[in-house]
Amino acid sequence: MTAAGEAIGPGEVQVLRDNQRSGSDFMVDVLKALGFEYVAANPGSSFRGLHESIINYGGNKNPELITCMHEESAVAMAHGYYKAEGKPMLVAAHGTVGLQHASMALYNAWCDRVPVYMVIGNYNDAAVRRPAEWYHGVQDAALMVRDFTKWDDTPWSLTHFAESAVRAYNVAVTPPMAPVVLVLDGILQEEGVDSNKLPAIPKAPIPAPPQGDSASVEQAARMLVAAESPVLVVDRLARTPNGMKLLVELAELVGAGVVDQTSRMNFPTRHPLNQTLRAAAAIGEADLVVGLEVADFWASVNVLRDQLHRSTEPRTKAGAKMITITTGDLYVRANYQDFRRLQDVDLAIAADGEATLPSLIEAVKRLATADRKRVFQERAGKLAELNRVAADRARVNASFAWNASPVSTARLAAEMWAQLKTEDWSLVSSYYTSDLGGWPRRLWNFDKPYQWLGHAGGGGIGYGAPASVGGALANKKHGRLSVAIQTDGDLMYAPGVLWTAAHHRIPLLSVMNNNRAYHMELMHVQRMCNARNRSVDRGAIGSQITDPNIDYAKLAASMGVYAEGPIENPADLGPALKRAIAVVKRGEPAVVDVVTQVR
């Protein structure tokens, strides 16, 4: 660490010598070696050295700076980017005020087990702080997010930085994945170092993900082959594009129904074995429930009734066997309670689900007799018919309130699908698609790994808008048409991300699901009114976003985003979407504000 500034006289050190580079230049070397494409940041003086190195020394390419209006937006962008691209985005922020802004989005990413690579600035040496750095200075900068990050470090030298930077990357992307934080000392960034004395960059490979042990996998395969009505419940299973292929192979191999809880794009929505639209029935009928990377397995097989007297009951029939395969068993923290209730199961395999599927598939192939294969085939036929009936019923349900105003969410989804189905599309965010009853999952044909990016993870509102922009940024170079169903309450947390999309020419169609209230919270308050036998109509106080209504088209237009709306007549929606998609195809963002029914 550095000596205090007053030890050196004024004028003696003004610029680096020709044979010197700054510490942050070397940091950029390391970040380039790690392969970051982008760094999302709201500028902050505590990482000014790194900022300058990125744009000048690094040429503002790999990583390229993405200007953000809020640190929460920057982290949520990185969250969405990871789920589209499969590799982390770098985020830079002040160590104090920036990290405090970023913390909610980090919590979402942690709950969602998504790696975000965050660097924060801090002047550790009190003797060199400018006045403003005192309230930006902190003893233990990463402390406030340590409960919901996987690892952090404060390097004290460039050698230390190089090792920790590579270690942080490997820690973040090894399942169970989660965000990491590196604290970059301001002086370490800014001081010069002789070019020929720079440390080496470690070449530590990313560790392979943990697979289930062979005996347990064999036991799971025996149970699957012997089951009469198995169901595969999946949530964060598909970690890579190969995850969906493997799940399809396993499901088809044993003729098992699949219930997709949609934290990832796990299984094609129109696959005949997809039983998501009749999930409760599929789980209720099952004699074997296999949970593959399910965040809340207890709630998958039990119900908590939210009345004044809370009660629970199982969803499964008596005697149903259960297996879980999840990295959740490898990573439990104490403070934040995202580990959920403990479910009795017959076999728990602490391993990565996707990494374990190949050996499970091979074991099933080995154990399946000709008789059992006939059973699997017959079962698959029955499940395909149930899938067809459920899909038909969903279309009938969508027809109700078809011409209503405000626009029904079913009509909204159908109008969007009509425009998207001939495109190479990616639904980068939608709160109501996270909900299994959401219309896109019922009406659209999701069959590619990038067509759905999951949801916030921690339930923190404000994820949707920035995660959409991050997902769209990743999709841009692949030429995909990114689309988001954007709720109004979510956008208003930090609408400045629309400017980021416009400034960086990030093509994204945001279709507003503008229902003018925080309806989920409104329902909670109404529930309390009911339980206390008091006026339910007052339950809307504090949750509605009306009087005045927000004009989202004007909001977007003010930041240089093409915008239409508010649209209240469903007949106006199709043409507006067409016009907006033309803009997005030119490489720019567009917002279509649609006033919708409540859900």
Partner 1 sequence: MRIVVLVMLASTISIAAQIRPTPQPPPRRTAPPPKTAPQPKRESPDDREPQGSAPQAPTPQQPAATQVSNDPKVNEGAALYKKNGCYECHVNDGQGGPQGPRLGPNPIPMPRFVAYVRNPSGDMPPFTAKVIADDDLAKIYAFLQSRPTPPPVKDIPLLAP
| Chain centre distance of CA 141 | 25
For position 100 contacting partner 1 by CB under 8 A, the verdict is: no
Q: What are phi and psi of 563, to 5 degrees?
A: -145, 150
Distance between CA atoms of residues 234 and 271, nearest Å: 15
Distance between CA atoms of residues 488 and 500, nearest Å: 18
Q: Which of 93, 141, 168, 259 is the binder for partner 1 (CB under 8 A)? A: 259
Amino acid at 214: S
Q: Which of 1, 309, 370, 422 is the binder for partner 1 (CB under 8 A)? A: 309
Taking CB under 8 A as the rule, which mask of x and - marks residues 125-164 in contact with partner 1?
A: ----------------------------------------
Q: Which of 34, 77, 104, 363 is the binder for partner 1 (CB under 8 A)? A: 104
Fill in the DSSP letter of residue 406.
Answer: S
Residue from 119, 102, 139, 91 nearest 184 by CA: 119
Residue from 246, 239, 226, 189 nearest 52 by CA: 189
Q: Shortest distance, CB of residue 574 to partner 1, whole angstroms?
A: 8
Closest CB to partner 1 among residues 71, 190: 71
For position 397 contacting partner 1 by CB under 8 A, the verdict is: yes
Distance between CA atoms of residues 7 and 551, nearest Å: 58
Closest CB to partner 1 among residues 437, 496: 437
- Angle of helix 71-85 relative to helix 97-111, nearest 10 degrees? 30
Closest CB to partner 1 among residues 57, 107: 107
Stretch that binds partner 1, among 89-97, 125-133, 347-355, 395-403 (CB under 8 A): 395-403
Site for partner 1 in 435-494 (CB under 8 A): 435-438, 441-443, 458-462
Tokens of 352: 């990565």
Q: Shortest distance, CB of residue 571 to partner 1, whole angstroms?
A: 5
Phi-psi region of 195 (alpha: psi -120 to 50; beta: other; left: phi over 0): alpha
Q: Shortest distance, CB of residue 392 to partner 1, whole angstroms?
A: 8
Distance between CA atoms of residues 522 and 510, nearest Å: 24
For position 398 contacting partner 1 by CB under 8 A, the verdict is: yes
Closest CB to partner 1 among residues 241, 459: 459
Count, residues near partner 1 per rule CB under 8 A: 91
Q: Shortest distance, CB of residue 490 to partner 1, whole angstroms?
A: 10
HSE-up (13 A, CA, CB side) for residue 504? 22
Site for partner 1 in 531-560 (CB under 8 A): 531, 533-537, 539-540
Site for partner 1 in 495-534 (CB under 8 A): 518-524, 526-527, 529-531, 533-534
For position 204 contacting partner 1 by CB under 8 A, the verdict is: no
Taking CB under 8 A as the rule, which mask of x and - marks residues 40-79 in contact with partner 1?
A: ----------------------------------------
HSE-up (13 A, CA, CB side) for residue 426? 31
Closest CB to partner 1 among residues 24, 300: 300
472 in Cβ contact with 79 (< 8 Å): no
Stretch that binds partner 1, among 63-71, 73-81, 320-328, 384-392 (CB under 8 A): 384-392
Closest CB to partner 1 among residues 113, 504: 113
Distance between CA atoms of residues 56 and 39, nearest Å: 14
Phi-psi region of 11 (alpha: psi -120 to 50; beta: other; left: phi over 0): left
Closest CB to partner 1 among residues 203, 309: 309
Stretch that binds partner 1, among 115-123, 206-214, 308-316, 578-586 (CB under 8 A): 308-316
Q: Which of 134, 135, 336, 402 is the binder for partner 1 (CB under 8 A)? A: 402
Neighbours of 12 (CB within 10 A): 6
Residue from 431, 417, 442, 451 nearest 278 by CA: 442
Q: Which of 195, 417, 496, 551 is the binder for partner 1 (CB under 8 A)? A: 417
Closest CB to partner 1 among residues 53, 274: 274
| Chain centre distance of CA 566 | 28
Closest CB to partner 1 among residues 316, 468: 316
Q: Which single residue is written with the structure tokens 């989202």?
A: 552
**DSSP structure string for 171-187:** HHHSSSP--EEEEEEHH
Q: Which single residue is written with the structure tokens 């069959």?
A: 447
Q: Shortest distance, CB of residue 327 to partner 1, whole angstroms?
A: 17
3-state secondary structure of 509: strand
For position 8 contacting partner 1 by CB under 8 A, the verdict is: no
Neighbours of 399 (CB within 10 A): 12
Q: Which of 12, 313, 344, 371 is the binder for partner 1 (CB under 8 A)? A: 313
Site for partner 1 in 275-304 (CB under 8 A): 276-281, 283, 295-296, 298-300, 303-304
